[in-house]
Amino acid sequence: MPTRIPYELPRFDGKSERPHVMGILNVTPDSFSDGGRNAVAGTALAHARQMIADGADIIDVGGESTRPGSEPVSLDLEWSRLVPVLDEVIAMGTPVSIDTYKAEIARRACAAGALIVNDVWGLQKDPAMADTVAEAGVHVVMMHNRTEADPEIDILADIDRFFEASMELAERAGIAKDKQILDPGFGFGKTIDQNFRILNRFETLAKHGLPLLAGASRKRMIGTVLNAEMEDRLYGSMAVHMTAMLKGAAIVRAHDVRPHADCARMLEATRLERNPT
């Protein structure tokens, strides 16, 4: 087992803690935003280094696109995409998250030194995931998801039920409470209106007593409002994420690290009423 780089979640008590920025590193050919761009190991590693230089607190590495409508890939194919980059990214010294819903991928990545499992199905897809996370002693992001959007449901009530089920699985497996993170899953099984309802009421998710992650980077909810293509959604992404941070997000997951890191630092300075450094 490699030496683990310590990672502590921000307390984010509204006074002193800076939200953390999770930089996205997709080593896939079909991710919705940057598919294929980092599929070559050298390019992926260079991008990881740049995100760290730009202020990333976490690097989130994924070997399978989890965008709605994407084709699932086999465990072997997913792992083959991760092998050329995972060890080297971990060795860079910034905490690494593994973006997967497969327990075996999570087990291998955590054995290599990953500190966070980012599960887009909130421990509810692979029956072995909760035990795998518990045995590894790592953090877990439990994201709300649906197989399809339903405009008729109360999306916040649906998220609450899903979170309670995920938290129960985590507790049953023995995952420490201080290692659990919740993500409402912008864009996953939700209508555009439901996404904005979640954002507008993001602070209500704090009732579950766990740190919150917001991940809306470059998503369709932004493109629809701004009538903007993927490459023109930076400012919209920052607006959504800044709103989420003001409403209690402890982590934002973003493609564009530098501007998000700057926003997080300015928010921290405002709360402290001084330069935090």
Annotated active-site positions, please? Answer: 219, 253
Closest CA to 248 of 219, 226, 271: 271
* CA–CA distance, 192 with 149 (Å, rounded to integer): 10
Dihedral over Cα of 184, 245, 36, 132: its sign: negative
The two three-digit tokens of residue 119, written as one number: 């599960």
| CA–CA gap between residue 185 and residue 76 (Å, rounded) | 26
Distance, in Å, from the CA atom of 2 to the CA atom of 208, rounded to the nearest integer, reads: 33
CB atoms within 10 A of CB 228: 15
Helix (H) or strand (E) segment spanning residue 132: helix 129-136
Q: Strand, helix or coil at 39?
A: coil
What length is written for the chain? 277
